[in-house]
Structure formats: C-alpha cells, structure tokens
Structure 1
Amino acid sequence: MARNPSVQEFIEDNGPLLAAEERLLEACRVGGVCRLGTRPEVYRADREVRAEFLKVLILGGTKDCDLDPSRVWLEGAWISGQLNLSYRRAVGQIVLDNCRFVAEPRIEQARFDSLSLDGSHLPGLWAQGVQAKGDLFLRGITATGTVAVNGAQIGGQLDCTGATLDGAGGKALHAQGVTCGQDLFLSGITATGTVNVDGAQFGGQVDCTGATLNGAGGRALFAQALRAEQGLVWRDVTVTKGQVDLIAAHVSNLVDDLESWPVDRENRPDGGNLILDGFTYDRIVGPLGAAERIAWLRNGTKWDGEFYPQPYRQLARVLWNMGHDRAARQVRMALAEDMARHERFLDRHSRRVLAALRKFSARPGPRRRERVAKTVSELPGHRAEVATTTVDKLLALHGQVDPNHVPPGPGVQPISETTRRYAQRQFRSDLAWQELGLRARIARSWVIDHLSNWVIGYGFAPWRSIYWLVLLMSIGATMAALTWKEGSFAPNSAPILVSQGWHDALSADNPAQVWSDDEFGGKDWDSFSALAYGADVVIPIVPFGQTDAWAPSTRGPWGTGLWWGRWVLTALGWIVTALGAAAVTGLIQRDKD
C-alpha cells in the first residue's frame, strides 16, 4: 500500500505553495470551504492549484499535516497537471466544484465517501470501477471527452443533471455495468455521443427529463439490460440523431410522453431509431390511448428487416393489468395485423428476388446481376442466407463466380453444354413456380388477414361478427322483400306447385301473395316474412322455417338475383358464424395471455 505524502514533502519536492494552495490548506485544516470564485475560463495565477498538491490533501496527508479528515472542499480553481487517484482511498467528502481541469482526472478503482465535480470543466473523466459510499455528483459539468464511470459502485446517486458531455462521436457517458443504490439523473443533459448504461443497475429511477441526445453516428442511448427499480422518466427528451436501444431493459414504471421518443418518419422497413425488443415495465405513467401507443410500438419493433412482436405483448399485458381491457385488445389486434403485414412484405421482397434471378438466368448481364445483388442485400438476415445459396447455384449453372460468396466446393464434375442449358431451363421453371407460389401465398394471406380483422378483430373483437350477421341479414331481407313484391316467390312444395289453387293464382302479378289469400287455399301455409327469410338464409344453424316454406323463382330479375345470391349469403353466414364462435371460445384464454 502506497504511503500518503505529507505537505512538507510536497513543498520540498515542488517548491513553495501557491496563493490558492495556501488558502486551500488553511480550509482543510479547519474542515472549511475554499471558495476562490466562479469557474475560471482562462488561466489565472491566483486560482492555480497543482493536481499533485490536491492529491496530498484528498488522500489525507500524514498526521503532522494536521488536516481535518471530514472533507476537502474547493471551488473555482484552475487545476494544473493530472489528478491521479487511481486505486487510492480518499479521506472524507471531496468537493471540487466549478473547477477547470487542464488534464483528464484519473480516478479508476478509487474509493470515496462521496465525490462532487459540479459545474467543473474537464477534458474527460476516467473513473472506471470507482467506488463511492455516497453520491457521485457531476451536475452541470462540461466534458470535452468521455466521462467513463463504467463498472462503478455507487451507494447513493449518480447525478449528471444539466451536464454537457461531448464524446467526440464516441461515448459521451460510459456507465456500462454501473451499480447504483439510488437514482441516475440525466435531466437536462446535452450529450454528443452515446450515453451508455448497458447492463447498469439502479435502485431508484433513471430520469432523462429534458435531455438532448445526439448519437453522432452511433446510438444516442444504449440501455440494453438496464435495470431501474423505480422506473424510467422519459419526458421532454430530444433525440436529434441516433438510436434509443432498450433491448432487454426493465424498469418498474415507464413515465413518458410520446413526443420524446424518436420517430421513424420514413417508415423504413428495416426499422428506425427506436429498439424496444425485450423492454419490460410494470406500469405506465403517461398516455394510455391505444392508437398513440400502437404508433409508438410500430416505431420500435422493426430492426434490420426483422419484426419483433414482444413489445406488443408487453404493452397489452401491462394495459390489461392496469384495467384498460379494450386498449389491451386493440394492441393485440395491431400485433396480428402487423405480423401478417410484415410476412407479406417479406414474401413480396422474396418474390422480387426470384423474379430478378429468373430474368438474369434468361439473359445474363452485368446490370441484371447488379439487380440480383441489390434485391438480395435488402432481404433480412435469414432470408438473405437462403437467397445467397440460390444465387450461388445460379451462378454455377451459368459458369460465373460471385466474388462476394464462396463458390461451390471441390468435387463438382464439369457438365456438358447441353446438360447445362437443360439445367438452366429447369432452374428458371423452378423459380417461376416458386414465384407463383409466393404470389398465391401473398393473396391468401391478404384475404385471411383482412377477413379475420374485419369480422372478429383477429379474435379480440368477436362482437364484430354480430354486426356482419346483421348486415348480411339486412341484405337478405331487402332482397327477399323486393323479390316478394316482384312476385318471384313460390311455395317450396312440389304438391302445392301442381295444385289447382296455385295454377289459378299464376295469372296474377304476385302469385304467392294472391295464393296466400283465403280464396286460393294458401292461408294456412307458413306466412312469408322478409326479415325471417333473410335470417334463415344467413344463419343456417338456426331454422326459421322460411326457406323450407318459400323459394325464389327466376321469373323476374330480383328473383334471379335472390336465387343465386342466397348461396352467397349462406356461405358468408357460415364463415362469419364460424369465425365468431371461434373468437368467443378463445377470447378468455387470449385475455389471460
């Protein structure tokens, strides 16, 4: 363990104390405050304190120094030289506020009771693994290099309120793996470069209110696996450039406003500047409208061409637990819609790749080869790998080698030109069939997706099926009423159709209505009801007796229309009824999920 130097030894090695150092020494002997003034912007001899002398005081000197062990409190000094406290133990409270450091302080693995650098100007701070029993205050500092506190262990707060941090395009604040007993305050900071709190753990909250973040070509906030026991405050935040990465982060309360999150205004298919995959929270203190939250999710669930559904499920679960059942269902509906839409997007892009490959195989050329490379490069990772294998096979068939990919392995025997051309034709045929299959899958997906959405809200709004049944019944009833008025209905009974009474009524404009009167003997037949007929056609599982009693004829246009339309209405009724029943039976389980 290194021996602490004494003041006398410092004087012997470095000459007499400067004026500011004399004042600081006197303050340290009585546990007082040495306040030299505001932060110096230019060098002043009466403000200079040498870093080595400051180190002597911070380490407590020796017994003959007669220093008060409670604190070293210095304000407004010009600190020349490099303050190096690495792996040393500071004595008492250390306050170096509103000072200007000429060189970057190095305090890695140093131990403090508490440390304050409020309002100071630093060319950076190297404090990796620093330990503080109390607080580490960096409020209002100006740093022209990285503030590195990664791996720090802080018993109290890490407070960077109002700091200006310029990481020169690298890390503005490097706080990876920090363990902090209380809060992290980033309120009002202006950061150029990444604010890195990857894997950090805070017993309190992470407060970013009013922060301005500029990733300068990298991430604006890198918070993967962040833990904040009392929540994340994300209000009035401005992200001018860079990503906000919250992968696998967890906070208890999410306190936000939606305007503070970065927005993918270009709706890029490969994702924008917000990554929410794996981000979990227990409660939201902020806007709870489903439409606004769904827009927030859509900004943060696509990355590198992939779609990540977890954020939707997380939000739906939280809304459900908070009692917002309807909003939770709307979020789950949005998830189903967006998943289907993304799958169709991938299928369409895969189809474009197949089309480009087929055209290149039919007429190889540099431009078509560039087109193939471009379409393949736009695919997400797993599909790009599959497409690359197909490209390699195609190039091998055409006797070309793609420099961007590994050529076919050894042991491949040369083939004749006739065999090659046959293989090329077969390859193009396979591509055409695959392309056709993708077109069919896209169309089928579109129909099923929209039908499920419109009719039952993807299973989360089964009552929509009732609206559709009412609409179909209304259409059927209207057509039945017009057909009856037209005189194009007849009893659905062979004996009646050959009876004398029916034949006598056929001369009338509306035989069915005339036959139903007493004169022709049809009064005891089941009375016609247009509404009941519409319901009987649309809801086949509930018999109303109308379709058994009456049938449309083709003697008029409305009769012809109903003759064919009833089959369509019945088919649609079956579909709507089946979807509605499936949605109702699965609704309780979905709500639990």
Structure 2
Amino acid sequence: MEIDELTPAELRVWQAFSRGTEVNFRTPPDEEATAGNTWGPERTLRAEVLRTLLLNGPRTAGETAVLKVAGARITGRLDLQYASVDCPVHLWACYFEEEVDLYGAQLRRLSLGVSVLPSLHATALRLDDSLRLTLCRVRGPVRLAGARITGALFLDGARIGEPAQGADATSAPLPEDASAPPLVPDRRREDVLQLNGAVIEDHLSARGLTVHGTLRLYGASIAGTFDLAEAQLNCPAGVALAGTGLAVGSDLNARYLRANGELCLKGATIAGTLVLSDSRLDNPTDTTLHASTLSVGADLHAMRLVSNGRINLRGARIPGQLNFAYATLSHPGGVALRASSLVAGELWFREAPPIQGMVSLRRSQLDLLHITPETWPDEVRLDGLTYTTLAPHEPAERRLALLRRDRDGHVPFSYEQLTAAYRRIGDDGAARTVQLAKQRRHRATLPPYARLWGYVQDATVGYGFRPVRAASWLFSLLLIGTLAYTAERPRALKPDEAPPFSALFYTLDLLLPIIAFGQEHAYTPTSTGLQSLAYALIITGWVLATTIAAGVTRTVSRQ
C-alpha cells in the first residue's frame, strides 16, 4: 500500500508507527468509544491499513515500532489470522465496526482496553506478553479457546455479550426474591467468553467483569490468581461459568460476585483459597455451585454467601476451612447443600440462619463441625459422617432432634459419632444420653416381643446407661419387703435350725438371685399376700439382674 493512498488520519498513524509514538484522536481525553459509529473521517482508520502496517510497516533503525492508537474508528475486518506480529499493539478506546480476527496469530503484546467491538476471534492466539481487554464492550463472543498468554489477561470492568431484552446489567440487577420465577435462558448468548483450554502463565484479572451468557473455562490453566471479585455473570437457568477441570495456581477470588445461573467448578484444582464471601448465587430451580470433586489447597470462604439453589460439593477436598458463617442457603423442596464424601478440615456455619432444603453430608470426613441445632434444616442425610470435634457445645437433647430427622431413618453410626464427640470432651453424661436415645430409636424397629423387653430394660435401668435408676428400684423394693416382713414375720421351716430372722436380709435374699444370706430357705411367708410379694421380689430381682448385666456388658463393650 502506497502512502499517497492513505487518508490524513491513516498517514498520522503510519508515520508514528516506526517512531513508537501514540496517535490520540480522543477529544476530550476521557471520551467513551460507545459513540464511535458517529465519528467522522478525521479519526477513521481502515482495518486493511492497520494490517499492512503491522506486517510490512516501516521500521526506523534504533527505534521500537509500536502501533499505538487511541480513539479511532476502525472500519472493515481486522484480519490477522495466523499472522506473526513482532511489535506491541495498543488500540485503546477504539470503535471496531467489524470483528477482530486473530485466529492462530502470534503477537508480542495486545491491548484493546476501553474499546468497543462486535466480537473478538482469538482462538489459538499466542501472546508473548499480556492481553488487555480492560473496560471493553463486546457485543458478541470473545473466543480465546486454546490461547496461550505468557503474561496476564486483563478483563477488569469489561462487558461481554448483550443483556436479555436489551436491558443493561446496571438497570437489571439480579432478583432479590428467591421465589421469583426463573428467566428463560437465551441460547444465542451462551459461550460468549470462551477460554476453554487456554493457558495463562500469569494471572487473570476480571474484577467487575460483566458477562451475558456463559464464561467457559473448560480445562483452562491459570498460573497465578484468578480475580472475579465484583463480577456479574448472567445466564439465567443456564451455566454462567463453565469451569470443569479448571486449574488455578494460586487463589480464586470471587468476592461480591453476582451470578444468575450455575457456577460449575467440577473437578477444578485451586492451589490456594477459593473466596465466595459476600456473593449472591441465583439459580432457584437447579444448581448454583457445582463443585463436585473440587480440590482446594487451603480454604473455601463463603461467609455471608446467599445461595438460592443447590450447592454441590460432593467429593470435594478442602484441607482448611469450608466456611459458611452467616451464609444463607435456600433450596426449598430440594437439596440446599450436597457435600457427601467431602473431606475438609473444618466446616463452619457460625451464626448462619436456618437452612432451607436438605443437607447431605453422607460419608464426609471433618476435623471440626461448627453448627448450632437451629441452623440444621428439617431434613438431613448424615450416614457415615465422621467428625472429631462438634461445636459449639450443646446439651445432648438439643443435638438428638437432628438425628431423628435423617431421611435414611435410624442411622446407628450417627449416634456413635455424637457419642464419641461428647466423650472426647469428657461429657460422659451427654454420651450416655445419646446412647440411650439410640437404643430407644432402635427399639421402634424391633418386633413386638423384642420391643416389650426393650421397654423393660428402659424402665428399669435405661438400657444400662441409667445405673441410678436400677439402684432406686432396688432400694424401693428392699424398703417395701423389709416393712412388709417386719409387720408379719414369716414362719421358720425348722425352728431349731433357723438363724435369727432379719426382714432386711430376707428381702435381699429374695431380690438378689446369686447372693444367699440363709434367710430365704429358712423361712416361709405365713399369708398368701406375703407369698405373692415374695414371688414378685424374686421375679423382679431376676429381671433387674439380667438387665443390669446386659447394660453393664454394653457399656463395657463401648469403652
């Protein structure tokens, strides 16, 4: 392309290129590019001119060539497919009339910050430095699948995709009412930000990013931090973030995130901490956070999180804290939290309101479980849940109500875990209360004859966990027998051989089936009433002895 074919605006850019200086068409300097379609020829550049400049533009010895333009209107399609560009490209606050095509291109550095684009096709892009899309407005998809960026990717404040029904994200906030009917997903807006298979060798900064559609990160790798703080992801009734197999080398910060749709981090690996504190996730009819088999190197912070939908943490590995302090989890009629087979250091629900929807912690392993009885929902599944410490300390009666709400019915393992937790802190009384409740719950599953024997054991010695009750029975029967046989002394069978009569030891002889004081065989009651009392004392003694022996055996075996 000859210089005499260039417009005055293009000539300015051509001449500045080899010197590495900027051409700024912005008037005033803070002018927005959203009105770029109204800009005249004095600030209009043809895409073919920029292509020629980047591939075959003039170079000045000793100077670094840079394409650095601000506030230009770029007409035509900027086609750099498979191109190799060895100079930095800065097209700041520009308005692109057609798609920017960087498929398979090799670039040194690219900055399109504050620009307006219909779409960006940069699949398999190779960048030796960073890619800046800060504050960009992209109406269509941004395709970076398979891209490899040696530096960082900046998406701070960018808006990608168009909101449903033409509404702006700022004028259509996410619904606060969890019972509001779900919006119908617009399939045309899915996958508007594609980073699947991308490799970012530094960090990905996307603070304040707004996406209308799906942010896809399947199998992507981010060596540094992934910052999604204050972002808005909108894909109603769809997948707002598809991050299956995502690998993050440091922290994933999604504090103050607003997501309408599912966040999928299934099988993702985050070497540092995942932060969802102060965020709001809305997907009332389905899953808000799908993070099954997630692996986190440190903690998952979800303090003050509001989730309207199901959270799925099945099989996740979180060696530090899983912190839902002050969080609101709601999925009425469904599962609010599925965390079966979870392995975590600590699970916190400190001062969290009552959970609406079922909680499943089956087969999970925790060092510390911190939750008040009031926070648990009306339905749970806890079979196989193990924990070392249960906090805060509550009376056993307040904890037992939860075990009766288990969807799986009578789960003996849950009672054993609660018993062990009380024993570890030295509260043996609470441990015995839990074991007694376990036997009573088990009794309801037995046939009638076994239930009858269970009632006898419960009434007499509390299945061996209420030894004072057995002593009370013995003392009461001993008192009754002593008074009765003192009032009407039994007759000696062989007066010459009988030992002196003692009403106390005669009653003990009747009550205790093993120990003999020589009274029972030497004397016999003189009336039918006293004989009936003797039979009653003998039968009751055997019952008490059997139940006490069974209870003691059970208690010793538990030790």
TM range (shorter): 0.5 to 0.7
SS at match of 2:261: coil
SS at match of 1:242: strand
Residue of structure 2 in register with 1:88 after alignment: 198
Letter in 2 for 1:492: L
Residue of structure 2 in register with 1:456 after alignment: 461
**1:373-394 deviation per Cα after TM superposition (whole angstroms, max 9, x unaligned):** xxxxxxxxxxxxxxxxxxxxxx
Aligned partner (choices 544, 562, 584) of residue 517 of structure 2: 544
Aligned partner (choices 213, 217, 221) of residue 111 of structure 1: 221
Whether the 8 Å CA contact 2:355–2:376 is kept in 1: the answer is no
Residue of structure 2 in register with 1:20 after alignment: 114
Higher helix proportion: 1
CA distance in 2 between partners of 1:220 and 1:570 (Å): 57
Deviation at 1:332, TM superposition (A): 1.9
1:281–1:561 Cα change, 3 Å:
same
CA distance in 1 between partners of 2:316 and 2:83 (Å): 33
2:429 maps to 1:326: yes
CA distance in 2 between partners of 1:176 and 1:552 (Å): 75
SS at match of 1:145: strand
Residue of structure 2 in register with 1:136 after alignment: 252
CA distance in 1 between partners of 2:202 and 2:360 (Å): 38
Residue of structure 2 in register with 1:562 after alignment: 530
Aligned partner (choices 224, 230, 246) of residue 340 of structure 2: 224
Residue of structure 2 in register with 1:476 after alignment: 481
Residue of structure 2 in register with 1:572 after alignment: 540
Deviation at 1:244, TM superposition (A): 0.3
**1:132-161 deviation per Cα after TM superposition (whole angstroms, max 9, x unaligned):** 001112211111110111110110111111
Residue of structure 1 in register with 2:173 after alignment: none
Deviation at 1:295, TM superposition (A): 1.9
Deviation at 1:291, TM superposition (A): 1.6
TM-score (norm 2): 0.67
Deviation at 1:548, TM superposition (A): 4.1
2:291 maps to 1:286: no
Amino-acid identity (%): 28
Residue of structure 1 in register with 2:268 after alignment: 152
**1:327-353 deviation per Cα after TM superposition (whole angstroms, max 9, x unaligned):** 223222221110111x15xxxxxxxxx
1:295–1:578 Cα change, 3 Å:
same
Residue of structure 1 in register with 2:401 after alignment: 295
Deviation at 1:240, TM superposition (A): 5.0
Letter in 2 for 1:79: I
CA distance in 1 between partners of 2:485 and 2:452 (Å): 29
Deviation at 1:226, TM superposition (A): 0.8
2:191 maps to 1:102: no
1:120–1:586 Cα change, 3 Å:
closer
Deviation at 1:35, TM superposition (A): 8.4
1:125–1:225 Cα change, 3 Å:
same
**1:40-99 deviation per Cα after TM superposition (whole angstroms, max 9, x unaligned):** xxxxxxx7356767959x9548xxxxxxx3x44554443347221110112422221123
Deviation at 1:170, TM superposition (A): 1.0
Structure 2, gaps ≥5 residues long: 1-80, 102-110, 117-126, 163-191, 235-239
2:347 maps to 1:237: no
SS at match of 2:341: coil
CA distance in 2 between partners of 1:19 and 1:542 (Å): 96
Residue of structure 1 in register with 2:160 after alignment: 79
SS at match of 1:259: coil
SS at match of 2:250: coil
2:365 maps to 1:250: yes
SS at match of 1:281: strand
Deviation at 1:162, TM superposition (A): 1.7
Whether the 8 Å CA contact 2:143–2:194 is kept in 1: the answer is no
SS at match of 1:329: helix
Whether the 8 Å CA contact 2:286–2:309 is kept in 1: the answer is yes
Higher strand proportion: 2
**1:217-239 deviation per Cα after TM superposition (whole angstroms, max 9, x unaligned):** 421111111111x2111233335
CA distance in 2 between partners of 1:275 and 1:234 (Å): 17
SS at match of 2:256: coil
1:188–1:218 Cα change, 3 Å:
same
Residue of structure 2 in register with 1:171 after alignment: 287
Whether the 8 Å CA contact 1:197–1:224 is kept in 2: the answer is yes
TM-score (norm 1): 0.63
Residue of structure 1 in register with 2:451 after alignment: 446
Number of residue equivalences = 419
Whether the 8 Å CA contact 1:218–1:242 is kept in 2: the answer is yes
Residue of structure 1 in register with 2:551 after alignment: 583
1:312–1:98 Cα change, 3 Å:
same
SS at match of 1:566: helix
Residue of structure 2 in register with 1:400 after alignment: none
Whether the 8 Å CA contact 1:225–1:247 is kept in 2: the answer is yes
Whether the 8 Å CA contact 1:552–1:563 is kept in 2: the answer is yes
Whether the 8 Å CA contact 1:465–1:577 is kept in 2: the answer is no
How much is the aligned-residue C-alpha RMSD, in angstroms? 3.5
Letter in 2 for 1:290: A
Letter in 2 for 1:335: K
Deviation at 1:106, TM superposition (A): 1.1
Deviation at 1:102, TM superposition (A): 2.3
Residue of structure 1 in register with 2:180 after alignment: none
SS at match of 1:146: strand
Residues 498-537 of structure 1 mapped to structure 2, 5 A cutoff: 526-537=499-510
Whether the 8 Å CA contact 1:237–1:261 is kept in 2: the answer is no
Residue of structure 2 in register with 1:490 after alignment: 491
Whether the 8 Å CA contact 1:236–1:259 is kept in 2: the answer is no
**1:189-210 deviation per Cα after TM superposition (whole angstroms, max 9, x unaligned):** 1112210011111121211112
